[in-house]
Amino acid sequence: MPLSLDLSPLLAQLEALGAIGAEGPGRGRTRLALTDAERAGRDQLVAWMRELDLIVEVDQLGNIFGSLPAATAEGDREPLMMGSHIDTVRHAGALDGCYGVLAGLAVQRAYRAAGIAPARRLVVAAFTNEEGVRYQPDMMGSLVYAGGLAVDDALASIGTDGSRLGDELARLGYAGEAPCGFLKPWAFLELHIEQGPVLEAAGVRLGLVRGVQGISWQRITLQGEANHAGTAPMAFRHDAGYGAAATVAFLREQITKAAPGTTLATVGSLSLEPDVINVVPERATFTVDLRDPDEGQLAAAEAKLDHFLETLAGEEGLTVHKARLVRFAPVVFHAGLRKRIQGAAEALGVAPLELTSGAGHDAQMMARIAPSAMIFVPSIQGISHNPEEATDPEDLALGAEVLLRVVEDCLALPLGAAP
């Protein structure tokens, strides 16, 4: 008899978690990784895990795991993991990441309510620093968990505010004992809002995620020469501000408009020094976020940018320094799990739309160590990383129902079988 999922605790918890770090009407919430606001979110999540009488474990990078033990010791050895993140960008919506974590708790709650011990250990993970705003790279917690970054290197990373990640983790009391990777998932499932316009535009309520596009993050510093805005002839200037602006224009005109038009480019952070109205900027520091579903296209975009910067440096008399922050190749999710998601959706009367994720996700990292897949629900007007981020509660319910059905489907498989 299929389990039933109670939606109201999920919606109530989404609201309660969304209130942590809230900044007033229309300003969303901010829970940057390892800040006091995020600690409050972590504490709240752990409290909800304890209410479900889960085994709560924290690893050395502060990744939090809540486990429903399996009916057998053998089942404990092949955990089915769900999860996402609860850290946010600045002025974020309430659903990004949190929906996948709290829907996982809702699935565990359905097993608890039915008094059924699952055939496999059923785990919900909340990974540290998925957003990568304060510390780079993004998806850091799952990247370390999947062995893509040494835990000591992650602990040593210095934030945009000059803080050391390991110190902040210890200050928050979330420097756990468990070694990163201590639970090897039999499979990993992440339920997430699409954060884009595709599902809504197609009028489809569920997304079957074929994979995640490649991501390249760099911090670029252009060093020019400060000079008087009123006396320095234009031809004599080494204007770092002009260099930054020219780069933004180049990315838009020469990269994103070039065929096949799949590359996305964003300069999300830009600062000028000395940042004074009547001084030619001597230094510009900015970030470049490039994405493409095709590895070759992404690499070509990076090479074009390098060449542009070299030419610009020569023409404007600037020096260029590039710091690589993130480089993730595109990932394709597990075919078997995607079939199960498709089957669960169709059993609920919805033919899901297949799409590639524009946003990075923890599943992109977990796919390195376990069969992984994602389920999307639509974002209203495709908006995310914005206080206006929203999804119809009916769609939130449908996504969580599909997650539960896929879990039940997976748990019905004999131990030792592939997902």
Residues touching Mn ion, count (CB under 5 A): 2
Q: Compute the least distance from the CB of residue 191 to ligand HGY, in Å.
A: 15
Query: Is the CB of 127 or the CB of 174 nearer to ligand HGY?
Result: 127
Q: Any idea which residue has 């009547």 for tokens?
A: 278
Residues touching ligand HGY, count (CB under 6 A): 6
Q: Yes or no: say if 263 and 255 are a contact pair by the CB < 8 Å rule.
A: yes
Q: If binding is defined by CB under 6 A, does position 28 make contact with ligand HGY? A: no
Q: Compute the least distance from the CB of residue 271 to ligand HGY, in Å.
A: 20
- Two tokens at 270? 């830009």
> Rounded to the nearest 5 degrees, what angle is found at the Cα of 19, between the Cα atoms of 18 and 22?
100
Residue 246 sits at φ, ψ, to 5 deg, of -65, -35
Q: Which stretch binds ligand HGY (CB under 6 A): 33-41, 118-126, 127-135, 171-179?
A: 127-135
Q: Compute the least distance from the CB of residue 99 to Mn ion, in Å.
A: 9
Restricted to residues 314-343, the positions that interact with ligand HGY (CB under 6 A) are none
- Helix (H), strand (E) counts: the chain: 13, 16
Q: Compute the least distance from the CB of residue 292 to Mn ion, in Å.
A: 19
Q: If binding is defined by CB under 6 A, does position 138 make contact with ligand HGY? A: yes
Q: Which stretch binds ligand HGY (CB under 6 A): 107-115, 124-132, 254-262, 371-379?
A: 124-132
Q: Compute the least distance from the CB of residue 221 to ligand HGY, in Å.
A: 21
Within 10 angstroms of residue 277's Cβ, the number of other Cβ atoms is 5
Closest by CA position to 17, among listed 103, 76, 109, 145: 103
Closest by CA position to 83, among listed 331, 361, 357: 361
Indicate the helix (H) or strand (E) that contains 271. strand 270-273
360 binds, among Mn ion, ligand HGY, none (CB under 5 to 8 A by kind): ligand HGY
Q: Which stretch binds ligand HGY (CB under 6 A): 31-39, 129-137, 307-315, 366-374?
A: 129-137
Restricted to residues 262-301, the positions that interact with ligand HGY (CB under 6 A) are none
Q: Yes or no: say if 116 and 110 are a contact pair by the CB < 8 Å rule.
A: no
194 binds, among Mn ion, ligand HGY, none (CB under 5 to 8 A by kind): none
Omega within 30 of 0 (cis) for the link into 371: no
Q: Residues 62, 104, 360, 399: which binds ligand HGY (CB under 6 A)?
A: 360
Q: Yes or no: say if 107 and 400 are a contact pair by the CB < 8 Å rule.
A: yes
Q: Yes or no: say if 412 and 333 are a contact pair by the CB < 8 Å rule.
A: no
Q: What is the number of the residue whose Cβ is closest to Mn ion?
A: 97
Q: Residues 130, 200, 239, 292: which binds ligand HGY (CB under 6 A)?
A: 130
Q: Residues 359, 373, 375, 407: which binds ligand HGY (CB under 6 A)?
A: 359
The rounded distance, in Å, linking the Cα atoms of 59 and 46 is: 13
Query: Is the CB of 48 or the CB of 188 nearer to ligand HGY?
Result: 188
Decide: helix, strand or coil at residue 315.
Answer: helix
377: which strand partners? 193
Query: Is the CB of 131 or the CB of 194 nearer to ligand HGY?
Result: 131
Centroid of chain to Cα 105: 19
Q: Compute the least distance from the CB of residue 133 to ligand HGY, in Å.
A: 8
Q: Compute the least distance from the CB of residue 194 to Mn ion, in Å.
A: 11
Closest by CA position to 410, among listed 119, 125, 126: 119
The rounded distance, in Å, linking the Cα atoms of 205 and 302 is: 35
DSSP annotation of 85 reads -
Query: Is the CB of 13 or the CB of 136 nearer to ligand HGY?
Result: 136
Which x/- pattern over 85-124 shows residues binding Mn ion (rule: CB under 5 A)?
-----------xx---------------------------
Query: Is the CB of 359 or the CB of 413 nearer to ligand HGY?
Result: 359
Q: Compute the least distance from the CB of residue 385 to Mn ion, in Å.
A: 6
Q: CA distances (Å), 387 to each of 28, 133, 200, 270, in order?
A: 4, 16, 18, 22
Contact residues for Mn ion, defined by CB under 5 A: 96-97
Contact residues for ligand HGY, defined by CB under 6 A: 130-132, 138, 359-360
